[in-house]
């Protein structure tokens, strides 16, 4: 591993759900699902979930601390879990699904301890924070079918993310949504109709269909980063089109049979906003074309990324 890179290891319940929040973010060089914390060498998935090995399901992240500081990883980690549950996470129960931060050096230990104290003092949760902070030990890579599960089996992953209870917990405790009444006051009529009522704006008569400035496009409601100008292209359809999302973890895809058609709808996880659809006629290797309504987006130019809290994405334009 290059000397300027570091490792971070987090256990947050099912490791399928702990890859996408970190994967593909600036400064992240790799996220591996695996097992750690127990005594048995090279355990199998079946052995770990039998709760007999002492291992946790975990992810190990290789990152560049100059681009993605460890403090940001900790902040992101806390927002994926229920840190008050000592018996597992959501529908997954047992010791293999407990939460823990495994530190790799003294600096990480101090930062992890400080972040836990800060979370406890915030009053966000009424019960104690029970997530462990432990020294990192051997980490065993999980079987290949468990690597990047959210990409390989996206439909099942999105269903599990919702049905396990994790999605609802995150929305209620970490990413509170505004009421439709409040949004009706804040948004324009077309923004409200698109995001809350699944409407589609007119082609060639929307804000970003021919927009070429460098920067990122964020959720008009939550501000979560969704797409980058580096992946935008003119598909000739009259709506903003992208070859890929900026962060796959912020999107969910589901079947849409409205208007007598069979399509894949794209929604924002945090705000549950309708964004548009994804088609298989794009120019990239996977042929994806994300056809998105301008009304669901807000553009942040490169010169304002740092000022608005999106500084980690500056690397895309350097």
Q: What is the DSSP letter of 22?
A: T
Over range 148-162, report the average pLDDT.
87
| Closest to 245 (Cα-Cα) out of 282, 196, 192 | 282
Residues of the chain within CATH 3.30.1060.10 domain(s) are 6-170
- Cβ within 8 Å of residue 15, ≥6 positions away: 33, 34, 57, 58, 59, 142, 146
Pinpoint the residues of the chain covered by CATH 2.170.150.20.
180-317
Catalytic-labelled residue, pool 291, 295, 296, 297: 291
The region of weakest confidence among 46-55, 244-253, 282-291 is 244-253
pLDDT of the residue at 108 = 98
How large is the average pLDDT for residues 84-96?
96
Q: Is the pLDDT of residue 247 over 90?
A: no
Catalytic residue among 8, 11, 14, 32: 14
Confidence bin at 174 (pLDDT 50/70/90):
confident
Give the contacts of 79 (CB within 8 A, at least 6 positions apart). 21, 170, 174, 175
Tens of pLDDT along 179-234? 888 999 999 999 999 999 999 999 999 999 999 999 999 999 999 999 999 999 99
Mean pLDDT of 271-275: 93
Question: Cα separation of 99 and 58, whole Å?
Answer: 9
Confidence band (pLDDT; 50, 70, 90) for 159? confident
Write down the pTM of the prediction: 0.70
Catalytic residue check, 291:
yes
Residues 154-160: what's their mean pLDDT?
84
* C-alpha span between 292 and 204 (Å, rounded): 12
Q: What is the mean pLDDT of the chain?
A: 93
SS3 57: strand
**6-170 under CATH 3.40.50.450, yes or no:** no
pLDDT at 243 (0 to 100): 96
Alpha-carbon Rg for the chain in angstroms: 20
pLDDT above 90: residue 18: yes
Q: What is the pLDDT of residue 176?
A: 64
Using pLDDT thresholds of 50, 70 and 90, give the confidence band for residue 260: confident
- Average pLDDT rounded to a whole number, residues 133-143: 98
Among 172, 170, 157, 175, smallest CA distance to 81 is for: 170
**Burial (0-12, 13-18, 19+ Cβ within 10 Å), 213:** exposed
CATH 2.170.150.20 given to domain 180-317: yes
Identify the pLDDT of residue 315: 86
Residues 6+ positions from 136 with CB-CB distance below 8 Å: 7, 9, 36, 102, 103, 104
Position 249 confidence tier, pLDDT thresholds 50, 70, 90: confident
Work out the percent of the chain whose per-residue pLDDT is above 90: 76
Check residues 210 and 284 and name the one with the higher pLDDT. Answer: 210
């Amino acid at each position: 591993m290059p000397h300027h890179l570091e490792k971070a290891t987090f256990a947050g319940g099912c490791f399928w759900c702990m890859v996408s929040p970190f994967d593909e973010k600036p400064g992240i060089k790799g996220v591996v699902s695996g097992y750690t914390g127990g005594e048995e060498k090279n355990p199998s998935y079946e052995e770990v979930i039998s709760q007999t090995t002492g291992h946790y399901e975990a992810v190990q992240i290789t990152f560049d601390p100059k681009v993605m500081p460890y403090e940001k990883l900790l902040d992101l980690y806390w927002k994926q879990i229920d840190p008050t549950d000592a018996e597992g996470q959501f529908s997954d129960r047992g010791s293999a699904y407990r939460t823990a931060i495994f530190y790799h050096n003294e600096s990480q230990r101090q930062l992890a301890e400080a972040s836990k104290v800060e979370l406890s003092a915030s009053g966000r949760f009424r019960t104690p924070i029970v997530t462990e902070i432990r020294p990192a030990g051997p980490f065993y890579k999980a079987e290949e079918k468990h690597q990047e599960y959210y990409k390989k089996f996206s439909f099942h992953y999105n269903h599990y993310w919702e049905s396990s209870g994790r999605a609802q917990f995150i929305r209620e405790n970490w990413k509170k949504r505004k009421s439709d009444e409040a949004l009706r006051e804040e948004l324009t009529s077309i923004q409200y109709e698109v995001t809350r009522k699944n409407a589609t704006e007119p082609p060639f008569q929307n804000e970003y269909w021919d927009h070429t400035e460098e920067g990122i496009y964020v959720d008009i409601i939550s501000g979560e980063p969704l797409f980058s100008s580096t992946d935008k292209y003119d598909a000739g359809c009259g709506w903003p089109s992208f070859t890929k999302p900026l962060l796959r973890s912020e999107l969910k895809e589901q079947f849409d049979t409205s208007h007598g058609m069979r399509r894949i709808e794209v929604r924002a996880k945090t705000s549950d906003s309708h964004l548009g659809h994804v088609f298989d006629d794009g120019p990239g290797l996977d042929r994806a074309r994300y056809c998105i309504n301008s009304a669901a987006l807000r553009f942040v130019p490169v010169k304002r990324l740092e000022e608005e809290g999106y500084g980690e994405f500056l690397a895309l334009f350097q």
